[in-house]
Structures are given as C-alpha cells and as structure tokens.
Structure 1
Amino acid sequence: MYIRKSVIEKIILLFFFMMVNEFFFLTDNKLSGVPFAREFFLVILVAVFLWLAVLNRCWIGVKEEYFVVLYVIGWIVVSPILAWLFHGQPFYFGVLEERRVILYLVFFPVFYILLYSRVSLSILGNYIVLGFFFSSLVGWFYYFGLISPRVDLSFKVDGKSYNDVYEMYEGFRGGRFRIATAFIVWVFVYSLLNFRKNGRYLWAAIIFYCALYVWFVIQTRTLMATMFISALFVFRKRIDRIFSVFIAVVPLVFVVFLIYPDVFQSELDKLLLLYEDAVEHSGPRTREITIGIIIDEILKNPVGYGALSLQWKDGFLPIYNDNFYLSDVGIFGVFYRFGFFSLVVIGIYYYVYLSRAVALRKSENALVLTACYVVVIESFDLIFSSSMAMGGGVFGVALAVMAFKYYGFDNK
C-alpha cells in the first residue's frame, strides 16, 4: 500500500511542477499548447485546496496558510473591483486578468504532501528538477523547429497580430522562446548548492544545461545576470568548485567549436547585439515611460485602478500606449493596481517571505537554502519582477518549503 501511495504522490508532484512550468499551457510563446490548460489547472488548484484544507481537515493553522488564502482572495477580488469602478471593466474580466495569482495555492498540495507523507525535501527537490527538465525539452523542440505552432490560432503582442509564434521573434533574438522560465533560477541555484556541497558532476551538468537553455532558448538579459550573480554568491567561499566546473566544461566547448565554428560566431554576434541594445538607446525606454504614467495616475487617484485584461477592449492599449503592461514594471504595477494601499500589501508580502528567509539562512538543506535565495533574489528585482502577481508557482512552493522547515516538521 505504501509503495502505491508513494508513487501516486510523486506523480502528483511531477504533474504540478510541469504545470507550473507551463508544459501544457497555450501561450504567445508556445502555440502548440492546449487551450484553457492554464485555467483548468487553476480550477484544479482551487479544488485541491478545498479538498485538502476543508474536507480532509489538513489545515493546521500556521500563519502561512492564512497568508496565502487572504492574499489570493484579496488580489483576485480587490483589483477587479477597482478596474470596474475606474475603467468600467466587468468584474469577470478583472478576475480573468488576475487569475495567475491563484498559482499561490500550489502552497497547499506541496506543504501537505511534505507534512502528511514520506516525501522528503530531497525528493521534492529532485521532482522540481525533473519538472523543469521535461518542460525545457519543449523549449528546445521549439528552438530546433521540431514542434510547429498551431496554425488555427492567432494572438496579439504589443498591439500587433500574429499567426505564427516565430514571427514575433524575428531579428537578433530570433528563436527566443520564454518556455519553462518559472523554475530555472530555482533549479540553477539548487544545483549550485548541491555541487558546492558534494562536487558531483551531475549537478555541474545541470548547471551547464540551465546556462545553455537561458542563452539559446530564453535569451533574457535579466535572467542571465541573475544566474551569474547567484553563482558568484554561492561559490564565494568555494572558488575551487568554480574551477572544477571550468575544467569540465572547457574541453566540451572546445570540441563543439571544432565541429560547429559558425555557431560560436553567430552567438558572439548575438552577445554584442544584446550588449548594444542594453546600453545604446536614445530617449526614454518603454519601462521608463510606463513607470512615469503610473506615477502620474497614482498622484491623481491614490486608491488605485486595478488591472485591465487584453480580452476587454484591448486592455490598456487604447488608454495609454501599445507597450503599457503592468507585468513589465514589477512593483510599480502593484502600485497602479492598489494605489497607496500597496504599501500595506507589499509590506506584508515581503515580511512573510523575508522573515522566513532570514530565519532559515543558515540551514544546511539545499532545497531550503534555495527557497531563501530565490526569495531574496526576487526581492531585489523590484522593477522587472512580476512575482507578486504571477510568481505564485515558485513563491508558493518556496513558502511551503520554508514553512515546513521553519516549524520543524522536517523532524517528524
């Protein structure tokens, strides 16, 4: 009976982590996905929460449980109400726009599986890695053209219509697909910590794999910088481990260079273009314009405006400009939604997460430390990170891991 139950629990974990990594989801980066898979998964999360916490009475009354429930309800109710009051958007569309915050409910199945089963933190960490790996394969399939987008679908980005996801990424970042981005920093840091501890080359291979995936498939400068800084911080006292990775990787890179020299030249050109795009520009950038608009609007109405859905009159596009997206400006997007009340929301949010991260900063468990590192990293990324609204998958798991360790349940 135990073996059967254990297998089911592990399958559930793998399913949840693949879903959080958008393995099945239909997005503007992955048009081969299943329509409404995200919405179906969110319904599953709500049902699982009700089944576990209410029907099976798994609720134990720790602060994190109350925080997650109130946070999700508050966000998915208040923002739509404000959008209805000040923009006239129907409540349903407001809920549709904020639906990703429901991902925070992943806290409950992860926390209760850790609490009431024999799934350990190390097993959980392994399944997070597996969930990312299987999901990243989809990204590679897109990159190499092995998967074709659905021809019967179209979508809008920045006010432009597309029938093919490849059309959106023409230019120097052609072949860029933001697939399986949710847990890549988590897996990268987790592998760094394990490699620092035991020096096994399996973890070095995963580190190298994450780096390749970000460079070739995701191609996001902020993510590259975050991972580089994370590596320097983790290995600040174990420089010898960095040399071990270097010694292992250089021969492989050299062999690839001998076989495919053109690849290195094209990637060098891409690096130079990424650098020029980052430092050479005239006039204010899109994010600067968006932040300026938000500050002006909040000074006019300190209560906040909620968030608009692109499914309702093209959202913010006809009101401001084609590039006004709250998800692009991190904490400023929260201020636009909730006005000066955001100070309370942000204060409580970061108090809950950072207080646990600080308390557990000396833990010897790699997964617990990873949760702490990820929380701190995202906390410093106030402008680019949209984790408060859309990072529920990662932050829900992080809170579950930290709560499990903080209350001593790992000693059960």
Structure 2
Amino acid sequence: MPGSLINRLSFLALGGLMVLQFGVFEQSPTNPVGIRYVGELYLAICLGFFALFTLSTWHRPQRDYRLLMAFCLFSTVVFCGLPAVFAQLFWGQPLVYGLIEERRVLYCFSAFLVLYLAKRLTAAQFENLIILVGLLSALLCWLSYFKMLPDLREEVKDLSRPGRASTGAGAIFFGYFICIYFAGRGRSFLDGQLRPKLRNGALALFFLATIVVVLQTRQLIIVCMVFTILALRARLIGPALFGAIAIAPLILYPHLLETLGFNLDFYARSVQEGPTDNVRENTISQIINHLQLYNGLPSGSLSLMWNDGFKPIFGDYFFLSDVGIFGTVFRFGFLSVLVIPIGLAVHYLVARKLSRDLEFTLAVFLAFMVIWPLQGLFEYQGTSALLFVMQALKTFHGAPQYDVLTMHERPGALPPGRQPLPV
C-alpha cells in the first residue's frame, strides 16, 4: 500500500512537472495560452530541488546523478558562464545580464527532479505520461487553432501562418517519437517490454497531423521524418503503409484539407521559396560579417534587458537562438573549433555512461542535429536533460544491453522484492 501510494503521488507530481518541462504554458510568441514567468518558476523549482538533493545525498551520490551533475556543471560553465563573460569583455554588458540571457542552459538541472520522480514509476507509466502530456498539448493547440480558447499573446507577428498555435511543442514531438517507435518496434526502449503497435500508430499520426496543420513548423516536420527513418529503418514499411492508408482520403479529395483548415498556401510557398526566410539569412550574413570584422573574437550574447540587446546594432530581428550553430559560433568565435566538438563529445560520453544502449535517444539527438543551423543545440538543454533521464531509466529498469550484467547476475545483488527505495 505505501508503495502504491508513492507511485500514484509520483505519477501526479511528475505529470505536473512534465507540463512545465515541455513548456505547455510557457510564454512565447507562438503559444496562445502562455503565461508570463511560468518557465522561470519551473527553473527555480529545478534549481532548488538540485540544491536540496545535492546537500542530502553528497555523502552517497549514485552514479547516474554524479554523471548528470558533471554534465550540468560543464554546461553551466561553458554555455552559460563563458558567453556572459565574453559579452562583458566585448560589449561591456554586466555579467548578470549575460547569465540571465543564457538561462535556458540551466534547464539541464531539470534532469535531477524528473529522474528522481521517474524512478518511482514503471517504464510504461513514464512513457504514457509523456504521451498524455503530448495529447494535452495537442488538444490545447487544436482548441486555439479553432479559436475556442482566448489568445493571451499581446501581438501576433507571423501573418503568413494564421491560427498557428505551438503549445507544448516539445511534448507533441516527443509523443510522436515514442508512438512511432512503438508502432514500428512494438517494444519499449526503456525496459524492452511489448507495446501495442496499432494504437501507438494512430497516436503518432495524430501528433504528426498536429505538427503539420496546427504548429506549422517546418523544422519539426523534418525532425520527425529524420527520426522515423533513423529509429525504424527496415521496420518503416508497416507504419508507412498504415500512414498511406490513413491519408489516402486526403489525397483523393484534396478539398478536405482546406475544410480541415490546412494552410496550403504556406507550404506551397515553402516549396517554391525554400524552407528558410530572409530573416535567418540576414542574421547569418551579419554574423559572418561581424566575425570577419573582429577576427573571430568571442562576442557572447546580449540581453534585451540591457540597452535593448542587439537591436541598436543589428536590428529588430537579430536573434542568435534562431540560427543554431551560427549563434554558437558568434558567442564563442574562434573558440568554437574547440567548444563544439568538446560539447558533442560530452553529450555522447554522458549518454553512453548512463546506458550503453543508445537506441531511441541517439536517433532523437541526430534528428535535431539536422536542423542545427536553425535551432540551438547547446543553448536549449531541456531536451538533452530528458534524453539523459531516459538513458538513466534504461539502466534502472534493466533494458537489454550488451556486455552488461543484470541485477540478478551481479554479486551481492538483492533479491526481487527486497530492493531499496530508488533515489
């Protein structure tokens, strides 16, 4: 009974935290139901838990938490601290504004809280929880798309995509990743147990339809396609046939797309003009010119809270987060030749040490690397934190791994039913 109560409370607590982890109610220009400072509140919760957890377990830290701590400290120093220092040296911006500007890096600390609660759930519960949060996000997106929810945004600038709603996009594409993986593989990547294919295939199509019709984010569509190919490979035939049957009516009767509100004009322009826009191209050209002018000196990043950031220098539409790896190069200058490969190596080594099985997680990471020129990889650590949690859970739940002893094969292992409460 106590174990069941802990399980239920952990499920509810982690459910609420995952809503915050995926930014379902985080304020952004594309989230109609975003609330100010929700993201900062969640970050404060994660940092507070990390501090308390570290103080209470410093004398007996477990291996997975030690690895996560090493990664978090590395990311904080390199991707949060150094850009702030460079901005102070190059532009004269006070250090505190630079740290605030790069605060999204600190979302890596969310791994501690998520992993702590996830260890009190079964693998199926954790997977279903992500899918449920994804369904909640998709529902909110569709309700906003059909004007059934109030729009809390002060201004909508992207008039080329009317009705666009991106509420909890992270939950939606992670829901797609998990469901399409189950539909193709038929088993869990956490514990190796069987998962229903047909139901997850239908959910994957629903998530993909939400991304295409409501989110209208070309980068995410590419990420989903790349992940599907990398994760399923030869098993792609079944889901592909299922998807072809599902969309056959839309191909035979194209007017149904307009009835459903599909933005044909936007995607037609994307095919004709390319997937990027002049804003990103101008930002990249400005970055290249700046680096050439100052011989590749590290420039850090400026906060809008300090003299309007980059606006007086480069204009209103200069955002380093929109140009991915080019933004990283701007921050670190000539040091990028060291920072980028070291950063990738650290990600790989931590994931590998958490679990030798990189299935699913590596496919997700590589899929996001495809859009690295359009979205920061090191600057947004929420996704990496969740992937590391999944890696740790593979070992915790005993997912099949090569050359790794199981709990029953380890000397001195406790018998089933007498395992200590997870930490």
TM range (shorter): 0.7 to 0.9
Pairing of 1:1-400 with structure 2 (within 5 A): 1-30=2-31, 32-57=33-58, 59-61=61-63, 62-114=66-118, 117-150=119-152, 163-165=154-156, 168-171=157-160, 173-198=161-186, 200-238=197-235, 239-250=237-248, 253=250, 260=256, 262-263=258-259, 267-278=263-274, 285-299=278-292, 300=294, 302-355=296-349, 363=357, 369-390=359-380, 392-400=381-389
**Separation in structure 2 between the aligned mates of residue 202 and residue 85 of structure 1, nearest angstrom:** 55
TM-score (norm 2): 0.81
Q: 1:273-321: CA deviations, max 9, x gaps?
A: 231232798xxx3333322332333341544111111232221111012
Alignment-mate amino acid for residue 288 of structure 1: E
Q: 1:139-188: CA deviations, max 9, x gaps?
A: 222211122234xx7xxxxxxxxx333xx2323x2112232222433322
Q: Alpha-carbon deviation of 1:18?
A: 0.8
Say which SS state the counterpart of residue 148 (structure 2) adopts: coil
The answer (yes or no) to whether the contact 1:78–1:306 under 8 Å persists in 2 is yes
The answer (yes or no) to whether the contact 1:42–1:102 under 8 Å persists in 2 is yes
1:31–1:52 Cα change, 3 Å: same
Q: Alpha-carbon deviation of 1:41?
A: 0.8
Alignment-mate amino acid for residue 31 of structure 2: K
**Separation in structure 2 between the aligned mates of residue 356 and residue 99 of structure 1, nearest angstrom:** 22
Say which SS state the counterpart of residue 237 (structure 1) adopts: helix
The answer (yes or no) to whether the contact 1:356–1:406 under 8 Å persists in 2 is no
Say which SS state the counterpart of residue 67 (structure 1) adopts: helix
Alignment-mate amino acid for residue 136 of structure 2: F
1:93–1:31 Cα change, 3 Å: farther
Q: Alpha-carbon deviation of 1:45?
A: 0.7
**Separation in structure 2 between the aligned mates of residue 332 and residue 244 of structure 1, nearest angstrom:** 39
Say which SS state the counterpart of residue 116 (structure 2) adopts: helix
**Separation in structure 1 between the aligned mates of residue 25 and residue 51 of structure 2, nearest angstrom:** 24
The answer (yes or no) to whether the contact 1:310–1:316 under 8 Å persists in 2 is yes
Q: Alpha-carbon deviation of 1:256?
A: 8.8
Q: 1:246-286: CA deviations, max 9, x gaps?
A: 334535x589978x5742796444432231232798xxx33
Q: Which moved more, 1:202-211 or 1:272-281?
A: 272-281
Say which SS state the counterpart of residue 359 (structure 2) adopts: helix
**Separation in structure 1 between the aligned mates of residue 378 and residue 276 of structure 2, nearest angstrom:** 30
Alignment-mate amino acid for residue 376 of structure 1: L
The answer (yes or no) to whether the contact 1:149–1:164 under 8 Å persists in 2 is no
**Separation in structure 1 between the aligned mates of residue 148 and residue 39 of structure 2, nearest angstrom:** 23
1:234–1:31 Cα change, 3 Å: closer
**Separation in structure 2 between the aligned mates of residue 229 and residue 393 of structure 1, nearest angstrom:** 20
**Separation in structure 1 between the aligned mates of residue 223 and residue 57 of structure 2, nearest angstrom:** 40
**Separation in structure 2 between the aligned mates of residue 261 and residue 382 of structure 1, nearest angstrom:** 31
Q: Which runs of 5+ in 1 are unaligned?
A: 154-162
Aligned residue pairs total 386
TM-score (norm 1): 0.83
Alignment-mate amino acid for residue 391 of structure 2: M
The answer (yes or no) to whether the contact 1:21–1:135 under 8 Å persists in 2 is no
The answer (yes or no) to whether the contact 1:290–1:324 under 8 Å persists in 2 is yes
Say which SS state the counterpart of residue 169 (structure 1) adopts: coil
The answer (yes or no) to whether the contact 1:360–1:369 under 8 Å persists in 2 is no
1:32–1:187 Cα change, 3 Å: closer
**Separation in structure 2 between the aligned mates of residue 92 and residue 354 of structure 1, nearest angstrom:** 30
Q: Alpha-carbon deviation of 1:354?
A: 3.3
**Separation in structure 2 between the aligned mates of residue 245 and residue 280 of structure 1, nearest angstrom:** 27
**Separation in structure 2 between the aligned mates of residue 176 and residue 378 of structure 1, nearest angstrom:** 22
1:50–1:275 Cα change, 3 Å: same
Say which SS state the counterpart of residue 151 (structure 2) adopts: coil
Alignment-mate amino acid for residue 342 of structure 2: I
Identity score, percent: 24
Alignment-mate amino acid for residue 179 of structure 1: T
